[in-house]
Amino acid sequence: MFTRVLTLAFGLLLVGFSDGCDQYNATGTKVFVPLRHKLEPGERLTWKYNNEVKVRAKQEEVTSGKAQNIAKDGSYILQNVKKEQSGDYSCEVFNTDGHQTFTSKTRLCVLEPVSNPKVTTECNESKAIFTCVLGQQPKDAQVKWLQDGKGIRETTNPLEKEASETKAKNISCEVSNKVSSKTSDPSTHDCLVEILPGIPDELFGISIWFFVAGGGGFVLVLIIIVTVCCVRRKRRRGI
């Protein structure tokens, strides 16, 4: 008895998490609802949409409905499919004696495809902030972040990272649903990265170690002093 209860509960749980769709397609595409049966000589085929007869055919000869809706293998064709054409597509196959030899049903779900996203960047102290600008997207769209073309664990939007961790890294976002996927152009940041408090890793676009290696220690000290003074003055003005 307990086992039966568990089995029933598990079955109900699966139903709750399932959307009931057997096939997904994007709007505006050409859709083939497969027959999943090899027609034998003399067999007749009937396709129904939500229990309404749409096509009757005998092998490659259409006896009722539109010929462009039947493929050579008996699959049902939808041209430039629309969301309102989602639903149950069922087929019945009969032999020459009128006996049913095959039947099947396919729940078709037609979804809007996603559109191209865009990544913008901004700096906040030691942080680089990446925003995936989505624009108009379907409700079922999901966002995934990529670094140098590989997926990362973070899923928040905007994405906040240490500037030092993402220096010279290509950050992009991927938007997808069950029928489509689009990836933004990669983006990098030019946020200030400090090797020590108040000392940036670059000056005028040149690595600070270049000055050290070149023996320009005195010049480096002067530049650092001027830079730190300017930063402090700006901060005081902002108070």
Residue 131 has pLDDT above 60, yes or no: yes
Question: Hey, what are 79's tokens?
Answer: 């041209």
pLDDT in tens, 151-172: 999 999 999 999 989 988 999 9
Question: Hey, what are 102's tokens?
Answer: 């095959």
Alpha carbon distance 202, 224 (integer Å): 11
Evaluate whether 16-111 and 118-183 have a shared fold.
yes
Residue 178 has pLDDT above 50, yes or no: yes
pLDDT in tens, 136-153: 999 999 999 999 999 999
pLDDT value of residue 64: 79
Torsional class of 202: left (φ above 0), alpha (ψ -120 to 50), beta (otherwise) = beta
Burial 40-61 (b: 16+ CB within 10 A, else e): eeebbbbbbbeeeebbbbeeee
Domain made up of 118-183: CATH architecture: Sandwich (2.60)
CATH number of 16-111: 2.60.40.10
Pairing of strands 44-49, 159-162: unpaired
Domain ranges of the chain: 16-111, 118-183, 194-238
